[in-house]
Amino acid sequence: MKKYVSRSALIVGLAAAITTAVPAFAGILISFEEVGSDVVATVSGSLTLPAPTSTGNSITINNGIAPDSPFFEFGVGQSILADAYNWTSSFPAYGTEGFSGPGWVNKGTGSGIADSERFLFGSANLQLPTSFVSGAPIDGTITWANQSFTTLGLTQGTYSRGLANDPTQTVTLNVVPEPTTSALGLVSLGCGAAFVIRRARGTKRAPRRAVRQS
């Protein structure tokens, strides 16, 4: 006896596959993408902050990256006071260029970044302004014009660490292919599911009637 796959089961399976392909996160997500001839870093999410490791540190933030160090700065401004939050372990390098590379020497152009959302991190810790509101959304972009993953020394992959005083609060950095590549992957997945649905329908034919012999 043949078993048929229902349309609803296939849709549920497709949804689960797409959900699995996009990992969940709690905290700040930084996504690097090549968009045309530029590289864009999109920052989103929020953090519910535990107790800081140290407070009142004087820092300056200037939209720079040094993937090999590793270092990341989000926002531009004069020297500010910040609180530091150590990682559970050292944040991993996410590329090959250091402080002499184009991502640090040629600062990116920020957009939509509020003063209270500025932050930076290195291998040891994350630093946020003392005015940062725990749980408040963080969003904005940095664009490096006429650059690529190769020139900025970015290595494709996912890099993440949690805060030592609350490991559930994380910063995740993704270096991902062009948006069109990811979109085509999901389209292919959808087309494959549609093909399976059509085949399942085709197998549900009415049984043949017996021919009466005279």
Burial 153-171 (b: 16+ CB within 10 A, else e): bbeeeebbbbbeebeebbb
Helix (H) or strand (E) holding 126: strand 125-129
Q: What mean pLDDT comes out for the span 148-159?
A: 97
Beta-bridge partner residues of 34:
39
The widest CA-to-CA distance across the chain, in whole angstroms, is 101
Question: How is 10-67 classified by DSSP, letter by letter?
Answer: HHHHHHHHHHHHS---SEEEEEEEEETTEEEEEEEEB------SEEEEEE--BS-EET
pLDDT for the residue numbered 77 = 78
Please check whether residue 71 lies inside any domain of the structure.
yes
Backbone phi and psi for residue 48, each to the nearest 5 degrees, phi listed first: -95, 110
Indicate the number of domains in the chain: 1
Please check whether residue 110 lies inside any domain of the structure.
yes
Range of the domain at 171: 28-176
Please check whether residue 210 lies inside any domain of the structure.
no
Average pLDDT of the chain to the nearest whole number: 82
What does each C-alpha distance from 66 to 15, 30, 57, 129, 194 come to in angstroms? 37, 14, 21, 21, 44
Please check whether residue 90 lies inside any domain of the structure.
yes
- State the pTM of this model: 0.74
Angle, helix 179-203 to helix 7-21, in steps of 10 degrees: 160
Read off the pLDDT band of 116 (50, 70, 90).
confident
**174-210 pLDDT tens trace:** 999 865 444 444 444 455 544 444 555 555 555 555 5
Tell me how far apart the alpha carbons of residues 44 and 189 are, in angstroms, rounded to a whole number: 27
Least confident of 123-127, 145-149, 189-193: 189-193
Please check whether residue 151 lies inside any domain of the structure.
yes
Please check whether residue 146 lies inside any domain of the structure.
yes
Number of H helices and E strands in the chain, helices first, is: 4, 12
Please check whether residue 43 lies inside any domain of the structure.
yes
Please check whether residue 2 lies inside any domain of the structure.
no
Q: What mean pLDDT comes out for the span 109-117?
A: 90
pLDDT for the residue numbered 196 = 45
Q: What mean pLDDT comes out for the span 21-50?
A: 87
